[in-house]
Amino acid sequence: MTKEDMLGVINDMMADIILKTYSDPIHAKDWEQLRNDLIKVEEGIRKCDAAGDEADSSPEAEKHEPSFEVRPYREGDLPQMVDIWNEVVDGGAEFPDETRLGNLSGRKFFSSQTVAAVAVDDYDGTVAGLYILHPNNIGRCGHLCNASFAVRSGFRGQHIGEMLVKDCLEQAPKYGFRVLMFNAVVEDNAPAIHLYEKLGFVSLGTVPGGFRTSGGRYKDILLYYHTL
């Protein structure tokens, strides 16, 4: 079994455990403990893989300077996209969603979006970040859209997020959207707030205590929009 296969099995098991946590509340603590154990196993697999990559790196590879472009995702990008999404979900500080993706659920989730794109270095296929775009409402408000962005922790601070947001602003009008809205920007997500305001997003106001962190604290969320 390859590393990707093992991680896929773990992700699928975690998704199943989350469902059981809600359907079997009597044993919720047991399911949560099993989930935490699986996360530790996943981290161990990744650390071993990273150490192996470092040991096997060639001088030619070390000379390569990553150059990222934003493009629609491909089937081969999905394992890395699932990893990036789950990393943010596990952090419990930015995404409202609490559900991890597995290989099958990830494929279904990303294929259901109006747009799902990645920032990728096609030299070696490294996916540094992603975004999804979809309607924010229906019917007479169906021209409003919403997006979510995720950047792999090792690539934050390298303007990957800015590349993703700019591409999203460029793509959204092609699908008939006229306004891009963000419904839940957590108050202390300073890098995101700085970026959005730099790119011309307008704040609509604050919802007190609109976000519950993984630690059970409630934080304010900010709403933003950008005409297209």
- For residue 23, the model assigns a pLDDT of 66
Instruction: Show the 3-state SS of 4-48.
Output: HHHHHHHHHHHHHHHHHHHHCHHHHHHHHHHHHHHHHHHHHHHHH
In the chain, where are the structural domains located?
Answer: 1-63, 66-227
- For residue 199, the model assigns a pLDDT of 98
Helix, strand, coil share of the chain (percent; to 5): 50, 25, 25
Second CATH level (architecture) for the domain 66-227: 3-Layer(aba) Sandwich (3.40)
Which residues in 43-159 belong to E strands, given as ranges?
69-72, 115-121, 126-135, 144-151
- For residue 66, the model assigns a pLDDT of 78
pLDDT of 75-111, one tens digit each?
A: 999 999 999 999 999 999 999 999 999 999 999 999 9
> Which residues in the chain come in under a pLDDT of 70?
1-12, 14-32, 35-38, 40-62
